[in-house]
Structure 1
Amino acid sequence: MTLLPRAESAVRAGHPWVFGESIKTQNRDGKAGEFVVMYDRRDRFMAIGLYDPDSPIRVRVVHQGKPATVDRDWWLERAMEARGKREGVVFKAGTNGGRWINGESEGFPGMVVDRYAGTLVVKLYSAIWLPRWDEIEGVLREVFAPDHLVLRLSRNLVKAAGEFGIEEGFRGEPGEEVVVFEENGLSFESAVRHGQKTGFFLDQRDNRARVGEMAEGREVLNLFSFSGGFSLYAARGGASRVVDVDISEHALESARRNMALNPALDGAIHRGVQADVFEWIEDCVEDFDLVIVDPPSLAKRERDREGAVRMYRRLNAAAMARVRSGGVLLAASCSAHVSSSEFFGAVRSEAGRSGRRWNELWTAGHAPDHPAAFAEAEYLKAICLEVE
């Protein structure tokens, strides 16, 4: 296969995706999961990828540079590298939940592998893995040695997986569908078979810890609270009161269960409010010392980007109005189509428009177990402002 010049340059620079319209020539039609060898315009080896005939991302690159043999030992080595980066850094005393492999950024495009105590959850987003699933499952079991392994599929893969005789759920010995794991000494539940993502939002771990460090004596408002991750850290950090707001009663109930898993947090006053956050925050007249705004992605596609930026402005303007003098606003975004500069700019702009004095404490991106090796992978960002 050869690529058009712009795509060739991108692959040489390390970009892991080749779109269908970027392919100049290929010797035949490929099947899902077949290896693709790419050559440059001078017929020199350039990269190896996996073919996906039904996706706009036609090839997902797994190796670029000099020729190499990509086989079971190759995958084993990549998985061992990922494990080595996390042992003693992410997974240490008090933490047995986190991400082992983060997709394209670690050589496993279209796949994430998360750990919840002794349960491994693998989620596939591309059909490239279906014909080689038995091999990959064996590699993951050898490297990570889980007690249980759960396979989850993006919705567009369910039918194709059936053609390979692959179904979602526990592989081999079944375990508990809701697993309790630890994160920095706090206990949380993860619905490993049916919960959002792989059962929990692991990517905000470091920002949750920062909230815990700021929470002492504060009244905390957690907007889009989901299962209460930020709230538990705030309660442990000494918050005098925590209010969760989420549209889902199921999410609020999960937060209550997570609180109950940690008896030491009984001293914190915790209340859940079921409401549409966009409406609730604009009608709210109560002020708080620490307000957290962490909505789900507001831009699923590139064409949603401008509307998402406007929504971030609206949300954070309303949230900042509810921050007491001397309080803190933590605003986060998980919209990949909204860049860090756009998001931070929107929050700073609304802070300036508020007429209040403010000081930027910090900004943050991805946690160490969620590395982003190319621009499209950089979805998570957060900014923290102290409001006078």
Structure 2
Amino acid sequence: MPCNPLLDTIAAMPRPTEAGRVFHGRGGLYAGCEQWVLDAYPPVLVLTSFAPVSDEALATIGAALAQRWAQIALPGDGPLCWVFQQRGGAQRLEGRSDTRLMAGVVPQPHVVTEGGARYLVNVLKGQNQGLFLDMAAGRQRVAELVAQQAAAPALAVSPGVSLGHGARVLNLFAYTCAFSVVALRAGAARVVNVDMSRGALATGQQNHRLNGVGNGPNGVAAFWAHDIFSSWGKIGRAGPYDLVVADPPSYQKGSFVATKDYGRLLRRLPDLLAPGGHALLCLNAPELPPEFLLEQAARHAPGLRWVERVPNPPAFADVDEARSLKVMVWAAG
């Protein structure tokens, strides 16, 4: 049966208006509920289990969601729409997920908001819906760092035309470019987004259009479908950068393996960063503690100064913060 804390959370759940986590059993704060996660991608709720689930358990949760939705939905919201995804059992071993629409109709296109920004998502696609909810605090920190960059040199776009004094940002492993969107909304002059996936970058371009940024008057965005480790020359020539953001996969064969490749990335940072610039580096690997990134930075980029670990959103609280998402900031010089 589903855990009582999940049912209690559903019973008290406010009407969701922004994308975010509703219940985080994975954090270990609720004994016996570690398999459960509930996310809101308004107007859709997404329930995820990291272990096999009985039809009876799903029916109980579905009834709880329906009851709560009837209480909080506004007249224009329509009927309850929820999706179930199972990542446990054979799916976990094979790196796959089973995703099912349980009730309602998912809007197409499906656009959600976070902190005033708009993003395309696809909750029926699988494990990567288009926006990593646990990175909300990292996106906010990027916006703050960009806003602080008031004294950056003007960026010339063409002869006689510049974008003022906004930050120059490099967004590595850009995925659907959410970091770029928030940076440009905060006043960045230019963002270079680099990712191997053309499909992810295409969604990123749509995200920029949704927010009216990256087209010149509100900063310039570039989208490079490149293997980062084969493109340092081109990446370096577009710099230096006031902010470098890197949110790589922790283990993706053929792309990035943290224990092997983070050092290679860190060695490049001193040459990429402008004086006074910052690097925001992310690591989502429960088996690697924050000390891993600190030791890698000290070894491969000793000239960088560690600034902080960005606290994760309260909705992602964990009994062991060493296992949770690591978002850490360094400064050049």
Question: Shared topology, TM-score over 0.5?
Answer: yes
Aligned positions of 1:1-388 closer than 5 A: 75-80=6-11, 83=13, 96-105=18-27, 106-107=29-30, 108-143=33-68, 147-154=80-87, 156=89, 168-176=99-107, 178-216=109-147, 217-263=166-212, 266=215, 267-281=218-232, 284-286=235-237, 287-298=240-251, 308-352=258-302, 356=303, 358-374=304-320, 378-388=323-333
CA distance in 2, matches of 1:169, 1:153: 9
Gaps of 5+ in 1: 1-32, 34-49, 51-61, 63-69, 160-166, 301-306
CA distance in 2, matches of 1:154, 1:229: 25
What is the identity, as a one-letter code, of the residue corresponding to 2:37?
V
Of the structure 1 ranges 196-205 and 241-250, higher mean CA displacement relative to structure 2 is found in 196-205
CA distance in 1, matches of 2:67, 2:294: 42
TM-score by length of 1: 0.68
CA distance in 2, matches of 1:299, 1:231: 22
Identity fraction in percent: 25
Q: Is the 8 A contact 1:193 1:199 kept in 2?
A: no
Q: Larger Rg: 1 or 2?
A: 1
Q: Is the 8 A contact 1:299 1:335 kept in 2?
A: no
Q: Is the 8 A contact 1:293 1:316 kept in 2?
A: no
The residue that corresponds to 2:151 in the other structure is none
Gaps of 5+ in 2: 71-78, 93-97, 148-165
Q: Secondary structure of the equivalent of 2:106?
A: coil
Return the offset for 1:126.
0.5
Cα gap change, 1:227 to 1:249, in 2 (>3 Å): same
Return the offset for 1:144.
5.4
Q: Is the 8 A contact 2:181 2:213 kept in 1?
A: no
Return the offset for 1:143.
3.7
TM-score by length of 2: 0.78
CA distance in 2, matches of 1:124, 1:157: 13
Cα gap change, 1:381 to 1:168, in 2 (>3 Å): closer
RMSD of aligned residue pairs (Cα, Å): 2.8
Q: Is the 8 A contact 1:177 1:193 kept in 2?
A: no
CA distance in 2, matches of 1:265, 1:147: 35
